[in-house]
């Protein structure tokens, strides 16, 4: 019964593992590294928030990145180089947004820092 439940869950959840709207994430294995590649399959530019959680690699990839992927193109996102004699694991999180829905931040000129200096009085 457990085996049938596992097979049932696998069949219905496997197609949704890489279901990012308009962008396909793939992994390209090279001689000494692993490269994450994003391919935009739509006719418009899309913004991608991408983060890799990894262990056993030379560079920590836990820092998130926000990148605009042009229409109908492939872009290398991050390259991971494994350490010698280390067990490696890596998973990723990707959030896709359209240009019209993206968040925009701008630096405010009204932020000021006030510093008060007090000088002790001499008696």
CATH code for position 53? 2.60.40
In a domain, 13, yes or no: no
In a domain, 48, yes or no: yes
Global pTM value: 0.63
Q: Is 122 left (phi over 0), alpha (psi -120 to 50) or beta?
A: beta
Q: Which of 63, 86, 73 is nearest to 37 (CA)?
A: 73
- pLDDT, one tens digit for every residue, the chain (123 residues): 665 655 554 455 444 454 557 889 999 999 889 999 999 999 988 888 888 888 888 876 678 888 999 989 999 999 999 998 888 888 888 888 876 655 555 555 454 455 555 566 776
In a domain, 118, yes or no: no
In a domain, 120, yes or no: no
Residue 96 structural domain:
20-101
In a domain, 6, yes or no: no
Q: What total of structural domains would you count in the chain?
A: 1
């Amino acid at each position: 019964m457990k085996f049938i439940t596992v097979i049932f869950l696998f069949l219905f959840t496997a197609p949704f593992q890489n279901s990012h709207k308009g962008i396909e994430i793939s992994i390209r294995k090279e001689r000494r590294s692993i490269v994450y590649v994003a391919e935009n399959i739509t006719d418009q530019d899309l913004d991608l928030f991408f983060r890799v959680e990894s262990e056993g690699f030379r560079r920590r990839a836990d820092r998130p990145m926000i990148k605009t992927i042009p229409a109908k193109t492939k872009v290398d996102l991050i390259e991971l180089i494994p350490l010698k004699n280390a067990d490696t694991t890596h998973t990723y999180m990707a959030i896709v947004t359209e240009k019209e829905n993206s968040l925009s931040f701008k630096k405010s000129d009204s932020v000021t820092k006030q510093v008060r200096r007090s000088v002790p009085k001499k008696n």
